[in-house]
Amino acid sequence: MAFGDEIMQGVMNAADTVTKAVETGNFSNLSSDLSATFNDTAKRFKEQAARSGIYNSYMPGGSSARNNSGVNMTEQYILNKKKISVFQKAHVSSISSTISGIIAGFFTFSSLLFALICLPGAIYLTSAFDISGFIFFFVLTLLFGLWWKKSHDKKKLIKQFNLFKKAVGNREYISIKEFASIVQISEDDLKKSLKKMISSGMLIGARFDDEETTLILSENAFDEYKKFVQSQRQQEIYDQSAQVDTQGMNVTSDSQKVIDEGNEYLVKVRRINDMIPDDDEEHMSDKLYNLENIMKRIFEHVGQHPEKAQDLRKFMNYYLPTTEKLLNAYVHLDAQPEVGDNIKDTKKQISDALDTINTAFEKLFDDLFEEQAWDIASDISVMQTMMSQDGLMQSQSGL
């Protein structure tokens, strides 16, 4: 271990000693514990210095806050503290709850005894003193009984805490399913116990994820979880922008099914595009943006004209799955560390195939308007004939 590591380890041990004293409220041995920690650190420092003979590494001009690898030890210490599981930080003792339970139990049974003594007089209404005495001691029995039960429950919770602490170890997070399997209780009972520990202050800093499927046990893990949730929300917003908005469209069940499946493919195309560099030599990213745009226009048209949903069945069942397969193959090839001729040729073939796919999809989109084009042409022809018959149009020779 480097000199800087020895010093920093000593600081960490001293900090842990002070933290433990603050959390337990026991400062009686703090001075002697700190003295022993510092003496032990100094002893190990001198021993290592004598073996290596390189005191110069800590002479002016160097940084005692950095080890030989150039790592800032203060930052490393802070990071390490953030990674410590809250189970390991907590120091829970059952002594106070045991004493509290004994005292509460004594007063509970004493109050009950006095209440029983006054009970005959209260039943037969022979004495106002007995009636009021019975009521008074009965109420005390209930109050002390609640105190005793609370102490008993806390003692039971502490016993569970020690079991959980042993099961979790140094983990920064653990799934509720795995946790329940280790401690051999149901997931619901486990979550109830953990929530009691958190609310009672035993597990300060412990948190559940949003779905309550994972228990987060360190600041570092919670920071990472917040980053993950934020990125997920941003990704959802990003993916939604690629999907067809059917609000205001008169969609049917068949057309909605086509649009839903289409939205899934749109999201897949966008995510595949995100995995391909913008400077890709095959310009795949630009081609995929074009593909996404064509697909979105096709599904928007189906939303506006639900009767066209059946015309896309072959498109949905064959063309889109095959396109997805080709794109996934391209991503796999693009991720290879060493690129040979076979990989280059295959990527080129997929890129050329995507050009064909885009052209075909554009043709399909155009074909969706064929019936509408025929209807418009027919309307124009009929109108021109009627205008000619009514003398509202000049003959072609007069033009």
- Within this chain, do residues 106 and 185 fall inside the same structural domain, yes or no? yes
Q: Are both 73 and 101 inside the same structural domain? A: no
> Is residue 88 one of the residues assigned to a domain?
no
**Residue 243: inside a domain, yes or no?**
no
324 is a domain residue: yes
Of the candidates 204, 198, 223, 212, the residue with the CA atom closest to the CA atom of residue 85: 204
Residue 305's pLDDT is 81
Same domain (yes/no): 261, 374: yes
**What order of strands is seen across the sheet that includes strand 207-208?**
173-175, 214-216, 207-208
Do residue 208 and residue 291 come from a single domain? no
pLDDT in tens, 199-248: 888 888 888 888 888 888 888 888 887 777 776 676 666 666 666 766 66
State residue 83's pLDDT score: 72
Q: Which domain holds residue 373?
A: 253-378
Q: Are residues 210 and 265 located together in one domain of the fold? A: no
Q: Are residues 51 and 121 part of one domain?
A: no
Q: What is the pLDDT of residues 189-201, one digit of tens each?
A: 999 988 988 888 8
Q: Does 101 lie in the same domain as 79?
A: no
Same domain flag for 78 and 104: no
Same domain, 70 and 47: yes
Domain total in the chain: 3
Rg of the chain on CA atoms, in Å: 38
Q: Is residue 17 part of a domain?
A: yes
- How many CB atoms within 10 Å of residue 137? 20
Same domain, residue pair 74 and 172: no
- Asked, for residue 272, whether it belongs to a domain, the answer is yes
Q: What is the pLDDT of residues 96-120, one digit of tens each?
A: 777 877 887 888 888 888 888 877 7
- Residues 162, 264 share a domain: no
Q: Are residues 357 and 316 in the same domain?
A: yes
> pLDDT tier at 318 (50, 70, 90 boundaries)?
confident
The answer to whether residue 394 sits within a structural domain is: no
Q: Would the pTM of this model clear 0.75, i.e. be above it?
A: no
